[in-house]
Amino acid sequence: MTKPISGFSKLTKEEKIDWITTNYTHNKEQSKKILQTYWNQNGRIQQLHDEFIENTITNLYVPQGIAPNFLINDRLYAIPMAIEESSVIAAASKAAKFWLKRGGFKTEILGTEKVGQVHFLFKGDPAKLNSFFTYLKPILLAESASLTTSMQKRGGGITDIALRDKTHDIAHYYQLHATFQTKDAMGANFINSCLEQFAATLKKEAANYTAFSAQGKNVEIVMSILSNYVPNCTVRAMVSCPVEQIQLTDQLTPQQTAEKIIQAIEIAKVEPYRAVTHNKGIMNGIDAVVLATGNDFRAVEAGVHAYACKDGQYRSLTHATIDDGIFKFWIEVPLALGTVGGLTNLHPLVKLNLEILQHPSSEELMQIIAVAGLAQNFAAVSSLVTTGIQKGHMKMHLLNILNQLGADENEKTILVQYFKTNPVTHHGVELQLKEIRK
């Protein structure tokens, strides 16, 4: 039986690998070779990766591709996407090419406000707390000034601090609800530093506020942390064209195709089971670019899905209409992103990807990523209402199946050709491979 280990983080990388392969793998030497295979041969680059996180033993590679031909606000982009799922980049590229001939994508920043909160318990007189906050607010700003100087020089900083009474949810629970502008930085460290200073100032000033009772002076700070829910840090991306240009299949007229797309969107607005998968497809596009540009895709995911149920039910993030013969398809989505700080300054490939995107500001990156999500959704919904999703997806998945079955290059060439005109299933590929090998 494997015993718990003490001091694992203090071991060298080689010692960590020796321990994990000895205690948790069946073939120690083979496991070591696999881990070492994924090390970067450039020692400096590998050390950089080792120091991104704790207890590093290797790198898990995710393929990165390019989706070209994205015309966004009359500017042409090739978008780097890092993802392991088959057909995502192909679908995005197909949508980009489709809309390239129809005016491209148009985008608009709706807001860039980010949020952080100090959560605290106060057991004194609520009326006196409101008066105290009026007194406290300028002190909060003054005592955090040393933290905000650099950000203010870049045009950002604290935009407001409000006292929120949450006692109807939890007894004695209040918040300092603060909003921020962080310009081209994602701003997590900046926001959290400001919040922790707010908390220290709040506790100190409450203890010395003469109007409070002894109980009121004893403010209990629960936590101080930014929020990944950013409903006022949002972007809109849109495509539009005359309905007669929505010609996707010979089986449906453009009008029928546009109406089926709209119906599919409406279903995703009222049926959560569909909406979750619908929005997951959007996130295929969004996450792939977020990851390629060194941003926090978990934070983006959490914020986007919260936004999808902002009115009390989980719904589609995209919308579609026909107005006066014009088909319109758009998305509004919250995206808190950065193009400076974090991995954007450290990871060589992330820096290259931002160069490929023509060194975008954080607002420009918001627009690019929203477009990637919209393109992905258009491709997915278009397939669903015409040929079905599996036809294209399984053809892209074919090479994964062939690799899984150990096909050599000659077998791959033969079977790729065969499945151009035959449906792809795992069992079908397996049978054809056996036939070839006979």
For the stretch 175-206, what's the b/e string if a residue is b when 16 or more beta carbons lie within 10 angstroms of its beta carbon?
Answer: ebbbbbbbbbbbbbebbebbbbbbbebbbebb
Spatial CA neighbour of 279 closest among 302, 312, 249, 311: 302
DSSP string, 227-270: ES--TTSEEEEEEEEEGGG----TTS-HHHHHHHHHHHHHHHHH
Spatial CA neighbour of 217 closest among 118, 119, 135, 128: 128
Residue 210 contacts residue 197 (beta carbons within 8 Å):
no
Which residue of the set 183, 278, 347, 393 is catalytic?
A: 393
Residue 353's DSSP bridge partners are none
Residue 254 contacts residue 260 (beta carbons within 8 Å):
no
* 3-state SS assignment for residue 417: helix
Residue 344 contacts residue 293 (beta carbons within 8 Å):
yes
Residue 211 contacts residue 126 (beta carbons within 8 Å):
no
DSSP string, 142-205: HHTHHHHHHHHHTT-EEEEEEEEE-TTTSTTEEEEEEEEE-TTB--HHHHHHHHHHHHHHHHHH
Is 85 catalytic? The answer is: yes
SS3 content of the chain, % helix, strand, coil (to 5): 50, 20, 30
Is 393 catalytic? The answer is: yes
Is 328 catalytic? The answer is: no
* 3-state SS assignment for residue 335: coil
- β-strand 157-165 against 326-334: which pairing, if any? unpaired
Which residue of the set 296, 319, 347, 364 is catalytic?
A: 296
Is 280 catalytic? The answer is: yes
Which residue of the set 18, 50, 85, 143 is catalytic?
A: 85
Which residue of the set 172, 280, 310, 420 is catalytic?
A: 280
Please give the positions annotated as active site.
Answer: 85, 280, 296, 393
